[in-house]
Amino acid sequence: MTEDLITKIDGQAGYLTLNRPKAIHALNHEMCAAMIDALVKWRGDDAVQAVMIDHSEGRGFCAGGDIRMLAQSGALEGAEKGREAREFFYTEYQLNHLLFEYDKPVVAFMDGITMGGGVGISQPAKYRVATENTRFAMPETGIGLFPDVGGGWFLPRLEGRVGQFLALTGARLDGAECLSLGLATHYLPSDKLDEAKQRIAKNPDRIAGILGDLSVTPPPARIEANIDKINRHFASDKYEEILASLEKDDSDWAAKERDTLGTKSPQTCKVALRQLAEGALMPNFAAQMKQEYAIGARVVEMHDFIEGVRALIIDKDNEPKWSPATPEEMTNDMLDAIFTPLLQDKEWKPL
């Protein structure tokens, strides 16, 4: 076990409480493994009728994964190059899949920052609770990564082209927007969360009613005013066509989104678009995770990820030097190499 995760049973519910506040509860390998162990144990325990995922103190539910470790691993040479990163992805994706297939109701409380790996452990849950503090995003293209942890499954199933917009721009959504898009199932005031948890622990067969009873009407969802623009400008699965569409629009909104995309890795923007296009057609979630593991195993060793982490997280100069530097230089052959399935003895498998 690890002190970065608190597991307990209270009433008829099992709690998975992320406990790494100094890192905004970003996931590490030990946390993912401990969550798997608890979920597997509770699956056969009749005393546990529901599972709740939340966080201890701090301003975020979960800010993502251990990005520094991933980049350091990918930058190594020889047999160790990328090994620790692949081990983390393998276990994290097994956790994502276990939650997706779990046969007892899971409630995720997305109170505060919910990004990357935090999305991966909340979106598979049957009940996803947003609050006025929720800040939801998949910001991976800004560090040369891609929207993994099942992003290729969840994002293309959102309304219109919103998933592609979120994947490319890394736009942050508030709790009202999450509810509007279906990323959250309920919107509660943060000061009602403790009451919700206590009531669910006592009556796990009444989760929907309890959350419905404590829900409030959220403020207007800002993204709703932009969905027509998003659907028009992000309609293509070809990145160059999205950029060209935004260029032709002289509105402030289009200029802002075009400027945002100009800061992202062309490589991983193209990876994300293909990932979502293929993810929309995946037969099941396990197939999605197998593909994302193959992509991740390669991208984590590539220049853009290591450079993106250096520029945004380590040195914080916010001036990554992407390579390829333009979308046009990122060829289909290069994309094909990233998406090639791994050999059978190297590929990801569910628990």
Burial of 211 (0-12, 13-18, 19+ CB in 10 A): buried
Write down the pTM of the prediction.
Answer: 0.97
Known catalytic residue: 140?
yes
Task: Answer positive or negative: Cα dihedral of 225, 143, 149, 200.
Answer: negative
Known catalytic residue: 152?
no
Tokens of 43: 């699956």
> Do β-strands 113-115 and 60-62 pair in parallel, antiparallel, or remain unpaired?
parallel
> Rounded to an integer, what distance in angstroms lies between the CA atom of residue 108 and that of residue 281?
26
Known catalytic residue: 148?
yes
- 188: how many CB neighbours lie within 10 A of its CB? 24
**DSSP-assigned letters across all residues of 94-129:** HHHHHHHH-SS-EEEEE-SEEETHHHHHHTTSSEEE
Tell me, what's the pLDDT at 71? 87
Instruction: Tell me which of 54, 84, 148, 307 is the catalytic residue.
Output: 148
pLDDT tens digits along 70-119? 889 999 999 899 999 999 999 999 999 999 999 999 999 999 999 999 99
> Rounded to an integer, what distance in angstroms lies between the CA atom of residue 264 and that of residue 270?
10
Known catalytic residue: 65?
yes
Pick the CATH number of 5-339 from 3.90.226.10, 3.30.465.10, 3.40.50.10300, 1.10.287.3510: 3.90.226.10
Instruction: Tell me which of 4, 111, 140, 257 is the catalytic residue.
Output: 140
Instruction: Tell me which of 64, 74, 117, 152 is the catalytic residue.
Output: 117
Give average pLDDT by consecutive 10-residue segment, the chain, 351 residues: 94 98 96 98 97 94 92 91 95 98 98 98 98 98 97 98 98 98 98 98 98 98 98 98 98 98 98 98 98 97 95 94 98 98 97 95
Instruction: Tell me which of 65, 82, 118, 142 is the catalytic residue.
Output: 65
**Angle at which helices 83-101 and 285-299 pack, to 10 degrees?**
160
> Rounded to an integer, what distance in angstroms lies between the CA atom of residue 224 and that of residue 214?
24
Tokens of 7: 């597991």
Tell me, what's the pLDDT at 59? 84
**Angle at which helices 266-279 and 162-169 pack, to 10 degrees?**
150
